[in-house]
Amino acid sequence: MPDILLTTLNARYRHTAFGLRYLLANLAELRPRALLMEFECSDVPEELAETLLQQAPRIVGIGVYLWNVEACTQLVRLLKRIRPDLVIVLGGPEVSFETDEQPIVHEADYVICGEGEHLFYTLCRTLLAGQRPPAKIQRATPLDLSTLVLPYDEYADSDLANRLLYVERSRGCPYRCAFCLSSLDNAVRTIPLDRFLRAMQHLLDRGARQFKFVDRTFNLDETACVAVLEFFLSQMDLGLFLHVEMVPDRLSPALQAVMQQFPPGALQVEIGIQSFNAEVQARIQRRWDPARTMANVGWILAQTGVHVHTDLIVGLPGESLASFAAGFDQLARLNPHEIQVGILKRLRGAPIQAHTQAFGMVYNPDPPYDLLCNDLLDFATLRRLKRFARFWDLLCNSGRFPQVCGLLGQQPEPFYAFLALSDWLFAAIGRTHEIALRHQFDWLYRGLTEGLGWEPAVVLAALASDFQGGALREPPDCLRAGLVEQPVRQRREKQALPARQARHL
């Protein structure tokens, strides 16, 4: 029976609790007395409480995040009612700021704000010695990463085989973007390169094949960035997949050269553009070179097999619908593999709060704290844009309809064309989720022909092509009408890549 039990609720099974593995790895002599148990947000709180209490722990540490705070609050309340003597320690970004107003904080015994690897160990050692520190809020300072035990041995073999592995070489970010918590820590700290690569080699030797870097700016140090990419490139025969987040206005010739060598889809680059409006960029302290960014994104798409995931944010202070539409169209014409459209969220502690009054920003009081309206976008418009984002992700980002999405991208105003399609689809279907793939074909045909007035033969030809490269075994109803030659699904070779990236090839 462990004295220390670490737990969290992941959004889905494929995700792993990276922060908790760091805590485990840095418990020193207490490590044999600790256990990690992961669950999912969809699990029943009473069942979670039962499972945890069966272990009879003395201390339970819980990782609290934006996506699980409501479920974690229910869990903590249950645990404290059943076992009042149980010491509950909270940590994670959701409870690191604005702690006084959070119900989950009131229920817990201690809260560690910030990087908790050393502080959690010290707190556990004190508690297990029978002492109770008087301060409920324990504030950590940014750590020297060279002093940490790396967490990668805490990944089980089942994690390596079935889940996405999070890794990091740096913490902090030099940029001060107002919507991001990383803007509060602009002192970038790194793990020594040789030590990091040894840890990655050990993961590869154990069978790890998919890696997601959590570094906020992977190519900040371009020399180290190239070295890491060359390390993984040298072992691409294993069938690897890497996800990294880069600033696109920093692509040196050496970095470009190594990116060109990756097999198609094996490297995914996330590029956070967020807004093309210069005034909005200045207001939120988003420092980047738009012209160089667009040129570099275009170069990546044209000259490499890198999978490009881009981000835009709806609702930034001072950004109108027309301004966002113009930026979306500019990006859509480049045709990146994915354009992730996100609604602005007011994360606890993020500097975006400073613009609330001046721009009439009204946020949801409950997670995910997304924008409800502001002085330029009313509630009804934000609801339309949320549906736009969901349908775009379902139909375009999914990679299932490349020909149809290519036609949308060729429209004079792609944003307004898809917004009209999104409005028609929601009016007809009444929902944005749980739409079977074969029905997506049929709804797209009707939406594009009835809603947007496109020529049926053009739409059917595009849908037939998308069917041929897709996963459906039998043609959907719209392709059975005899208006086009009966399509035959092409057999695709099995890919080692994640499904969405493989579909974009």
What size, in residues, is the chain? 505
| 3-state SS assignment for residue 225 | helix
pLDDT score, position 489: 56
Chain centroid to CA 160:
19
DSSP state string for 471-498:
S-SS--GGGSSSSSPPP-PPP----SS-
d(CA 288, CA 244): 18
The residue extents of the domains of the chain are 4-142, 155-369, 378-505
pLDDT score, position 52: 98
d(CA 248, CA 271): 7
DSSP state string for 142-211:
---GGGSPPSGGGS-HHHHHHSPEEE-SEE--S---TT-GGGG----EE--HHHHHHHHHHHHHHT--EE
pLDDT score, position 502: 83
- Please give the C-alpha separations between residue 6 and each of 3, 24, 27, 64, 266, in angstroms, as whole numbers: 10, 8, 12, 11, 33
Helix %, strand %, coil % of the chain (to 5) = 45, 15, 40
The tens-digit pLDDT sequence of the chain (505 residues) is: 899 999 999 999 989 999 999 999 999 999 999 999 999 999 999 999 999 999 999 999 999 999 999 999 999 999 999 999 999 999 999 999 999 999 999 999 999 999 999 999 999 999 999 999 999 999 999 999 999 999 999 999 999 998 989 999 999 988 889 999 888 877 899 999 999 999 999 999 999 999 999 999 999 999 999 999 999 999 999 999 999 999 988 899 999 999 999 999 999 999 999 999 999 999 999 888 889 999 999 999 999 999 999 999 999 999 999 999 999 999 999 999 999 999 999 999 999 999 999 999 999 999 999 999 999 999 999 999 999 999 999 999 999 999 999 999 999 999 999 999 999 999 999 999 999 999 999 999 999 999 999 999 999 999 999 998 888 888 999 998 655 555 555 555 555 788 878 888 7
CATH of segment(s) 4-142:
3.40.50.2300
pLDDT score, position 136: 97
Q: Give 155-369's CATH code, choosing from 3.40.50.150, 3.80.30.20, 3.30.1540.20, 3.40.50.300.
A: 3.80.30.20
Work out whether strand 362-363 and strand 371-373 pair parallel, antiparallel, or are unpaired: antiparallel
CB of 230 closer than 8 Å to CB of 223: no
End-to-end CA distance of the chain: 49
Burial class (CB in 10 A: 0-12, 13-18, 19+), 243: buried
pTM: 0.93
Locate 104 and state its tokens.
Answer: 């989950």
Angle of helix 117-128 relative to helix 18-25, nearest 10 degrees, comes to 60
**H/E segment holding residue 91:** strand 87-91
Phi and psi for 8 in degrees, rounded to 5? -160, 170
d(CA 386, CA 366): 17
d(CA 355, CA 85): 43
Structure letter (DSSP) for residue 236: G
pLDDT score, position 62: 98
- Beta sheet of 338-343, edge-to-edge order: 165-167, 210-213, 241-245, 267-274, 307-314, 338-343
